[in-house]
């Protein structure tokens, strides 16, 4: 049976968070100018997060479904709601719109009329949708082979008949088409890697790293927001997860990975607040420090809530 704790996953979470943070820092420090390099960095960070999520969800497939759902809810919502409230207070002080709609609060499928939050919550909508599908599949007690077949067919369907967004809004908020949207396919990729990790790791680590580098490099030259680019980014990200999931990493990197969700939640509001008076380096470091502090709180909060009704060895919930 595959072990439950992978320290390398936390290192990859740290990398993903830093990619997203730095791409946004470039955007805000340069007066909202977008260039292909930073856009690719941010997109690669998000896709890496999705590959990791799929991998980690595969490790939970034998849990009681009620426990799985409870852990998913407390992993996503409490820290998100607190960050949303803090952002609303900050925006009110700055004179920005502060009202939020039910889809923002609950993260359900929608095509929003307008965006009223700077938290990049579109990715969380993908995550919550995938968790719902995973919970449904796990409740059916399907075999690993059946889960793999469904995941592969899902990826194929995205690329053959899936949505083809023409802009950022359609990419991040495809509504009912989300299950067949370009970025969604990376989550079942990660799921397959998690289910078959022991078999996949029979290939040398160097081989997976080489595959990741080739795919990630190739993705840079493909059209943005397309199925083929997300497929290529997904292959590269999933290959990195397989290559590095069981690596030993320094403790400070692991801690940064533990804080990655908090970094993701608060770094953009911090940048919105600070960007008029800061350059790239100062903006990056300020958002990283604030995000890490919030991430440490989030990690404690999740551990507290997850252990409230159960006892487990230290670190048991770190990969959730």
pLDDT at 315 over 60: no
What confidence tens digit (pLDDT) does each residue in 76-134 have? 999 999 999 999 888 888 887 777 788 899 999 888 766 667 788 999 999 999 999 99
CA distances from 58 to 22, 24, 83, 144, 185 (A): 29, 30, 28, 10, 15
Contact 171, 31 (CB under 8 A): no
Q: What percent of the chain has pLDDT over 70?
A: 91
Q: Residue 312's pLDDT band (boundaries 50, 70, 90)? A: very low
- Residue 268, helix vs strand vs coil: helix
Contact 51, 190 (CB under 8 A): yes
What confidence tens digit (pLDDT) does each residue in 237-280 have? 999 999 999 999 999 999 999 999 999 999 999 998 887 778 89
Domain ranges of the chain: 7-306
pLDDT of residue 274: 87
CA distances from 287 to 148, 173, 267, 295, 306 (A): 39, 26, 5, 12, 27
Q: Which of 64, 11, 36 is nearest to 319 (CA)?
A: 11
Dist CA 13 CA 259 (whole Å): 9
Contact 54, 188 (CB under 8 A): yes
Helix/strand number for the chain, H first, E second: 14, 0
pLDDT of residue 2: 45
pLDDT of residue 32: 61
Contact 247, 11 (CB under 8 A): yes
Dist CA 52 CA 46 (whole Å): 10
């Amino acid at each position: 049976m595959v072990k439950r704790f992978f320290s390398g996953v936390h290192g990859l979470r740290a990398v993903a968070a830093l990619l997203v943070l730095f791409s946004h820092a470039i955007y805000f420090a340069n007066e909202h100018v977008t260039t292909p390099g930073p856009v690719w960095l941010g997109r690669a960070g998000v896709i890496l997060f999705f590959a990791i999520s799929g991998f980690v969800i595969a490790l939970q497939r034998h849990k009681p479904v009620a426990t799985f759902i409870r852990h998913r809810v407390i992993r996503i919502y409490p820290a998100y709601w607190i960050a949303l409230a803090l952002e609303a207070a900050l925006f009110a002080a700055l004179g920005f719109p502060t009202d939020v709609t039910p889809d923002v609060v609950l993260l359900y499928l929608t095509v929003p009329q307008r965006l009223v939050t700077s938290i990049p919550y579109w990715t969380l909508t993908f995550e919550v949708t995938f968790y719902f599908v995973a919970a449904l599949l796990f409740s059916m007690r399907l075999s690993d082979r059946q889960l793999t077949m469904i995941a592969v067919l899902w990826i194929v369907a995205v690329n053959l008949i899936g949505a083809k967004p023409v802009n950022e809004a359609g990419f991040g908020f495809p509504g009912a088409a989300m299950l067949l949207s370009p970025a969604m396919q990376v989550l079942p990729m990660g799921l397959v890697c998690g289910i078959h990790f022991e078999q996949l790791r029979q290939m040398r680590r160097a081989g997976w790293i080489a595959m990741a580098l080739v795919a990630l490099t190739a993705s840079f030259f493909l059209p943005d927001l397309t199925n083929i680019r997300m497929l290529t980014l997904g292959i590269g990200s999933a290959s990195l997860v397989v290559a590095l999931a069981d690596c030993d990493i320094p403790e400070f990197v692991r801690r940064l990975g533990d804080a990655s969700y908090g970094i993701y939640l608060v770094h953009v509001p911090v940048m919105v607040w600070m960007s008029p008076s800061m350059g790239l380096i100062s903006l990056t470091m300020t958002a990283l420090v604030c995000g890490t502090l919030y991430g440490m709180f989030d990690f404690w909060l999740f551990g507290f809530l997850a252990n409230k009704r159960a006892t487990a060895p230290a670190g048991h919930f770190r990969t959730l």
